[in-house]
Amino acid sequence: MSIITTIKNIFRFYGEGFKNMKVGKTLWGIIGIKIILFFVIIKWLFFPNILKEHFHTDQERSDYILNQLTQGK
């Protein structure tokens, strides 16, 4: 049995199992929405766009990044 056939069989196995779920589909949907919201909120709260806050043009941003990469600390 080739690797491609094995991979196809695995996907088919999980696909058929997922099709037959009733409550499981709803729960996976809720989990997916929660994960997406979680990462969006985390990014918004903890990873602000510092370059856009401190620099007005793309040239200023690129100069700052180049300076930081070449000087190192």
d(CA 59, CA 48): 20
Number of domains in the chain: 1
Query: In angstroms, what is the C-alpha Rg of the chain?
Result: 23
Question: Which tens digits make up the pLDDT trace of 21-41?
Answer: 888 888 888 999 999 999 988
How confident is the model at residue 72, as a pLDDT?
Answer: 66
Name the residue range of residue 47's domain: 3-71
Q: Write out the chain's pLDDT in tens, 73 residues.
A: 689 999 999 999 988 888 888 888 888 889 999 999 999 888 888 887 888 888 999 999 999 999 999 996 6
How confident is the model at residue 16, as a pLDDT?
Answer: 85
Q: Which sign does the torsion angle of CA 49, 55, 59, 62 carry?
A: negative
- Hey, what are 65's tokens? 């990044």
Stated pTM of the model: 0.47
